[in-house]
Amino acid sequence: MAATASASGGNGTNGKRDDKDVPPPLPEPLRVPVADSHTHLDMQSGTVEDAVARAASVGVTTLIQVGCDVKGSRWAAETAAAHDGVWATVALHPNEAPRIVHGDPDGWSRQGAREAGGEAALDAALAEIDALAALPQVRGVGETGLDRFRTGPEGMAAQELSFRRHIDIAKRHGKALVIHDREAHEDVLRVLAEEGAPDTVVFHCYSGDAAMAEICAERGYLMSFAGNVTFKNAQDLRDALAVAPLDLVLVETDAPFLTPAPYRGRPNAPYLIPVTLRAMADVKGVGEDTLAAAVAANTARAFGY
């Protein structure tokens, strides 16, 4: 995305940096290298080179850079082409589609403020996503899906239309479909069933309960867990993780968001994957190396690298 979220920190009234602005320390390295299946390097402070190096130093050797609008998807593809170990996904975020259609100047993408709204504008944006999805360094289409939290009823039709078009793009290019599902579980599953899901479906930042995890497992959908699985109030996520088959589990940061405990509220980055993965291993009742090996294999299979 065009905007970046700075983690450089600010000074409080006492002249000292607030703890929330201080990046967490490097965790103990993993013995088995893994991937961050979903990150937003363009929203993090520092350079891509620094982010890749810090992640690699703790055993996170592959990063999936995710696009959320046309400009961010172009950046994702360019960044993946320029850096070993970085792959891209491209898409219009679910909240981006209605903003394009309605010409909302406060939309997710600044570009949307300069473009006329309407379905023609959405068609043009989707055409560029389609073209980017054909590139070899682009290994997924997403994050797409449905978001009933930030988009009101007036934007639902455009959001669902966009989701269906992304499903078609993923299927035609043989790429993984990366789903953003916020307070829309039943509708996301419905649209996937109506359209026919691609061979590979990844629920990014899995947010359903154990019952939904069982449905996803039956359909072969991968579930990617983020740092919020470590939050005290996230027992439903831990219950879902507990029943998710080991061969359908991924790990992600969604950085700079969802920093795992005990660093919640501080800047997130791919190098913090080990913190989340170790918490996940405890929930699954398996060793750290066992989970890391499964996650590594699952991510490579999902994104074809």
Number of domains within the chain:
1
Residue 126 lies in a domain: yes
Of 238, 243, 214, give the one whose Cα is nearest residue 225.
Answer: 238
Per-residue pLDDT at 102 exceeds 90: no
Decide: helix, strand or coil at residue 188. helix
Instruction: For 211-267, write each residue's pLDDT tens digit.
Output: 999 999 999 999 999 999 999 999 999 999 999 999 999 999 999 999 999 999 999
Please give the Cα distance from 225 to 221 (Å, whole number).
Answer: 13
Structural domain of residue 116, as residue ranges?
28-303
pLDDT given at position 132? 98
pLDDT given at position 9? 34
Residue 254 lies in a domain: yes
Characterize 198-230 residue by residue with b for buried, 16 or more Cβ atoms within 10 angstroms of its Cβ, and e for exposed: bebbbbbbbbbeeebbeebbeeebbbbbbbbbb
Residue 299 lies in a domain: yes
Residue 234 lies in a domain: yes
Residue 100 lies in a domain: yes
Angle in degrees, 0-180, between the axes of helices 156-173 and 185-195, rounded to the nearest 10: 50
Residue 107 lies in a domain: yes
Q: Does a cis peptide bond (omega within 30 degrees of 0) precede residue 143? A: yes
Residue 18 lies in a domain: no
Q: Are 38 and 224 in contact (CB under 8 A)?
A: yes
pLDDT given at position 99? 92
* CATH code, 261: 3.20.20.140
Look up tokens 């999805």; give the residue. Answer: 133
pLDDT given at position 104? 60
pLDDT given at position 107? 45
At 159, the pLDDT band (50, 70, 90 cuts) reads very high
Q: By mean pLDDT, which of 55-64, 151-160, 294-303 is the weakest?
A: 151-160
Share of the chain above pLDDT 70, in %: 90
pLDDT given at position 21? 84
Please give the Cα distance from 189 to 181 (Å, whole number).
Answer: 10
Instruction: For 17-29, write each residue's pLDDT tens digit.
Output: 567 889 999 999 9
Residue 16 lies in a domain: no
Q: Are 117 and 101 in contact (CB under 8 A)?
A: yes
Tokens of 198: 């691609």
Please give the Cα distance from 179 to 163 (Å, whole number).
Answer: 9
Is the full-model pTM beyond 0.75?
yes
Q: Are 217 and 245 in contact (CB under 8 A)?
A: yes
Burial of 45 by CB count in 10 Å (0-12 exposed, 13-18 middle, 19+ buried)? middle
Per-residue pLDDT at 108 exceeds 50: no
Considering only residues 280 and 16, tell me which one the structure prediction assigns the higher pLDDT. 280
